[in-house]
Amino acid sequence: MNALSPVPRQAAAATALASRLFATRQLTLDLAAPLSDADATIQPIPDASPGKWHLAHTTWFFETFVLRDHVANYRPFDERWAFLFNSYYEAEGPRHARTRRGMISRPSLDQVRSYRAHVDEALERALPNLSQAAVDLVELGVNHEQQHQELFLTDILATFVENPLAPEYADAPAPACFAIEPQSFHSGREGIVEIGADGSSFAFDSETPRHRVLLSSHALGSRRVTNKEWREFIDDGGYRTPSLWLSEGWDWVLREEIQRPLYWRHHGAEFTLAGLREIDATAPVAHISYFEADAYARWAGARLPTEAEWESFAASADPNIGNQLDNACAVMPRPGGGLFGDVWEWTQSAFASYPGFAPAAGAVGEYNGKFMCGQFVLKGASCATPRGHSRATYRNFFPPSARWQFTGVRLARDT
């Protein structure tokens, strides 16, 4: 027989999952290695979380949903910590307020590392004998931790920018010389197409079920909007022209005194994970909100793509190619690139359920479904997205004013 028997297949799958699990867990530790305890404790804005909290919360996820619920006689590292490191799972009971996470000076960063080691050892012992339901939760936990690795980096960036000394998280190479290719538009598919995950590999519940949508004639930009083009938008009064903005967006501009991308400075520099750097004119613009992306598109005589247009366009692209996160180093958008990497791309589509969507049972059902209100979908991946994490069907989402993530824009237009 040429086919592998079920037992070797299962053993190989278990080995592969264990390898990905512990590689992911190690990368999180590597990302935290440059930080002091103080660095990892600060919460700069309510939307961001301290680095130490990310390390602990991702560990709590495995301890709670895998070890506590599926491993007999497992003893929690510290029962009190569930209150500290639960995020938004109402089914898991009371929790520390999200806006007060920066007040958790104890446990220390080293104690959180000990917590991670305790849970990792328990996971390693348990993996060979876990039920399929528990294995599925381990897979979810790996993908959940990868999401938090990106959040960890964006939250550290938001933390360090508050320091007048402009500290560097890590070094990064100098920008390479790169010529901006002219913006062109490529026709997308027209007619009935299918979008959403097909069940052949891991996907979050919000990516399902696969379903049909109707696309009208349209085209997508060949590349993202660059810093140079964004500067032209600013110089042309883009932030001072109310007719370019949605009403809520214009209110936001006036209220928050928005004049430029989040980390741009007056003197032609931007704050990055490598400290203050000269703005690279050829790199994709980053740290812009949905409101800004929509206003720019209108100024440019275009629009934002829909989620279905973007996904259909990217269906045959390799999501592992592009400037994405491979190791613990300073990351930033770079010139060039394809559909995945550098910056997440705003779409005009609201984050809503697909026809026939049903959240998972139990507490993990709170993962996506309850956020399907007031959010917009972003597609692709960023320079802080762990390589291998994203795919064409992936649905990242944030509220329209959010911009502390690596978010940018690709234009679309009707044809």
At 257-304, the pLDDT tens digits run: 999 999 999 889 999 999 999 999 999 999 999 999 999 999 999 999
Q: Which of 151-165, 237-251, 361-375 shows the lowest mean pLDDT across its residues?
A: 361-375
What single string gives the DSSP state of each residue in 223-255? SPPBHHHHHHHHHTTGGG-GGGS-HHHHHHHHH
Domain ranges of the chain: 6-160, 185-414
Nearest by Cα to 50 from 72, 35, 34: 35
CB 342 within 8 A of CB 284: yes
Q: Which residues contact 38 (CB under 8 A, 6 or more apart)?
A: none
Over pLDDT 90: what percentage of the chain?
87
At 302-345, the pLDDT tens digits run: 999 999 999 999 999 999 999 999 987 778 999 987 899 999 99
What type of residue is 381?
Answer: A
Query: How far is Cα 367 from Cα 203, in angstroms, rounded to an integer?
Result: 12
pLDDT of residue 1: 37
At 45-92, the pLDDT tens digits run: 999 999 999 999 999 999 999 999 999 999 999 999 999 999 999 989
The architecture (CATH level 2) of 185-414 comes to Alpha-Beta Complex (3.90)
Burial bucket for residue 370 (CB in 10 Å: 0-12, 13-18, 19+): exposed
Domain 6-160 matching CATH 1.20.120: the answer reads yes
Query: How far is Cα 353 from Cα 204, in angstroms, rounded to an integer?
Result: 12
Q: Which residues contact 15 (CB under 8 A, 6 or more apart)?
A: none
Tokens of 333: 């958008």
CB 278 within 8 A of CB 268: yes
What type of residue is 133?
Answer: A
Query: How far is Cα 234 from Cα 268, in angstroms, rounded to an integer?
Result: 13
Q: Enumerate helices (H) and strands (E) in the chain, giving the number of each.
A: 10, 11
Cα 381 to its chain centre, rounded Å, is 7
Kindly state the helix (H) or strand (E) to which residue 191 belongs, with its residue range: strand 191-195
What type of residue is 295?
Answer: A
Q: Which residues contact 226 (CB under 8 A, 6 or more apart)?
A: 180, 281, 282, 283, 284, 285, 335
